[in-house]
Chains A and B, each alone.
Chain A
């Protein structure tokens, strides 16, 4: 019963890896950032699909850490790009 999750992990990882082509092409910084965001969620999914069925409890803790910091790079980007200062409120 670990075949389907394992295959799904492989499939998702392959998919988000293809999504990284967007990082190659851009054209904007924001587009590049989106592909990494997708890779981050894909990594979380793959990690869980691989770790949970095999009973590896630490996989969930690693996924928790990744999920908690998933928005971090994007927030730093928005702050640094000055997209936040003149936000209409």
Chain B
């Protein structure tokens, strides 16, 4: 049982790291601000989400687990707000 949990935890962490790689590549390679915003939110939402999912079994206590989930929720929320607001500013200027 422990081995299964460990395995899942490692899979989730590696997948999370992969989303960060995807976010970076998107941020560097995509042609304009809006598409870059799209790449960024994947790293925000799924990258951090999967990393935290992988860390949950190692959290050690219920409180620590709840705080980890709260971190993810806050990151999700911040990502949503930032993409709305920055997207609004970017859409008012002509694309460069």
Contact = CB atoms under 8 A, between A and B. Distances in A.
Interface residues of B, number: 47
A31 B82 CA distance: 12
Given A8-B14, A8-B16, A70 B85 contact: no
A48 B17 contact: no
The bracket for how many chain A residues form the interface is 35 or more
Contacts of A52: 55, 58-60, 64, 68
Contacts, number: 149
Chain B interface helix/strand/loop/mixed? helix
Contacts of A11: 17, 20-21
29 contacts: A8-B13, A8-B16, A11-B20, A12-B16, A16-B24, A18-B24, A18-B28, A19-B27, A27-B96, A28-B93, A38-B24, A38-B27, A38-B44, A41-B75, A42-B47, A44-B71, A45-B51, A52-B59, A52-B60, A60-B71, A67-B74, A67-B78, A68-B74, A75-B82, A77-B86, A78-B85, A78-B89, A83-B85, A83-B88
